[in-house]
Amino acid sequence: MEKITIDYRNVVSVLSKNDLSSMEKRIKLCHNMLHRGNGEGSNYLGWINLPSSYEQEETKKIKEVAEKIKKESDVLIVVGIGGSYLGARAAIEMLNHNFYNELPKEKRKGPKVYFAGHNISPMYIKNLLDVIGDQHISLNVISKSGTTTEPGIVFRIFKEYMENRYGKKEAMTRIYATTDRSHGALRELASQEGYETFVIPNNIGGRYSVLTPVGLLPMAVSGINIEDVLEGAKRAQADLSDDSLKTNNCYKYAALRNLLYSRGKTTEVMVTNEPNLYYMGEWYKQLFGESEGKDGKGIFPASMNFTTDLHSLGQYLQDGKKNIFETAINIEKSQEDIAISKDKLNLDGLNYLEGKTLDYINRKAMEGALAAHTDGGVPNIVINLPEITPFYYGYLTYFFMKACGMSGYLLEVNPFDQPGVEAYKRNMFRLLGKPGYEEVYEEIVATLERV
């Protein structure tokens, strides 16, 4: 299997080779922080060696439960928010048919998979219930604490729905909880109700948890080979284990993005030319946004899909404020292709493309856009992914997680906490009248007044 490679020729207008080599000492220092656990947030570094130490018994259990769900259900509902659903959704969207849920049962490798708990829209939930109709369902609720508001509310609704439909005893056999090993409301409820459970390791935070049962169970239910996913991550762990900026591509990527940030490039846009990588962009946004946006610092993560978004945001990228750089994921080998045929009338003027394939045209469209953006003052880094397979999904997610840990330490922030996320929750709880939050609000106001 080939490695993921990066091409950074299009940053030469902003950076020089000396700029990159000047980062070597800091890279080695931050590498030691990651591998020796002497940096901030070090008690959340369990993902570093996870791929090479994953227990076979856990993989076996995930596969067995996935088969059970496949046999008895037409639909799997995954309830979670943030890191509790984005990695799994990215994998299912990336590795399966673009219209997976629309395929007839015999053409799918598993039941339909829908996601809930990542919003609290009544329209979304009602529409989802309408779609389910009389299809049989299983439910995987994912939360380390069990008290996160959005998935907590939605799980309560679906738990009641399933108990009314199947009866409490059968509903219990169709609900699977992925949660803390021994603590929290969901763990307590699962023990009381008798749900089958999977563990989120204590030393792995939500946005780094995709290679745990958080991501692997929904993947397996959809028919993805999770052993290949783990093998890809294991290969990435080995390939990206040294502290050399010359040979470690994920460290090179982390260094380049921080150098660009120091030159005023404060927004990074992940771009792809494949629609089924859309949720990979969503996962990347949470990973980097929640890890780096602290202490008034951080690169703002965004994502775009070419060529679709070039017709809405291309003008801004080309001629707008020059605080942006791009990271493009280039798929080197396409799984599908279609050739353009000749049209007798040629009213659309496209006969010059006769014999060329959509994959070729798609590549040239991306190359052309990146060249234009570079000329317009928007540098870019290209990450070359050999092909879209479970192996390379595992490799890519590990690549980004390690790059994110390194990048956070280079920024001198803790890449494993998220204190700012709690701010909206405090205000929401106060406005909803949650017991105790009126006093908390008054204390905050009094503190601000004293300041």
Catalytic residues: 290, 425
Closest CA to 155 of 166, 167, 168, 139: 139
Q: Return phi, psi of residue 175, to 5°.
A: -110, 130
C-beta separation of 108 from 223 below 8 A: yes
Category of 218 on φ-ψ map: left (φ > 0), alpha (ψ -120 to 50) or beta: alpha
Whether residue 307 is preceded by a cis peptide bond, meaning omega within 30 degrees of 0, is: yes
Length reported for the chain: 451
For helices 86-95 and 278-292, angle between their N-to-C axes, nearest 10 degrees: 150
User: How many helices (H) and strands (E) are present in the chain, helices listed first?
Assistant: 18, 10
Token readout for 34 is 């990651």
Give the CA distances from residue 303 to residues 208, 280, 326, in Å, rounded to whole numbers and listed in that order. Answer: 19, 9, 9
What is the rounded distance in angstroms from the CA atom of residue 112 to the CA atom of residue 77? 9
Q: Which amino acid is at 351?
A: N
| Widest Cα–Cα separation across the chain | 79
Residues sharing a CB contact under 8 Å with residue 208, sequence separation 6 or more, in sequence order: 44, 47, 83, 287, 401, 416
Burial 288-297 (b: 16+ CB within 10 A, else e): bbbbbbbeee
- One DSSP character per residue, 365-378 reads HHHHHHHHHHHTT-
C-beta separation of 326 from 273 below 8 A: no
Residues sharing a CB contact under 8 Å with residue 59, sequence separation 6 or more, in sequence order: 216, 226, 227, 230
Instruction: Give the start-end residues of each E strand in 46-189.
Output: 75-79, 112-116, 137-142, 175-179
- DSSP classification of residue 41: T
Token readout for 267 is 């927004």
Closest CA to 42 of 406, 414, 316: 414
Q: What is the torsion angle, in degrees rounded to the nearest 10, for the CA atoms of residue 204, residue 207, residue 210 and residue 213?
A: 50
- DSSP classification of residue 309: G
Find the DSSP H helices in 55-108.
56-72, 86-95
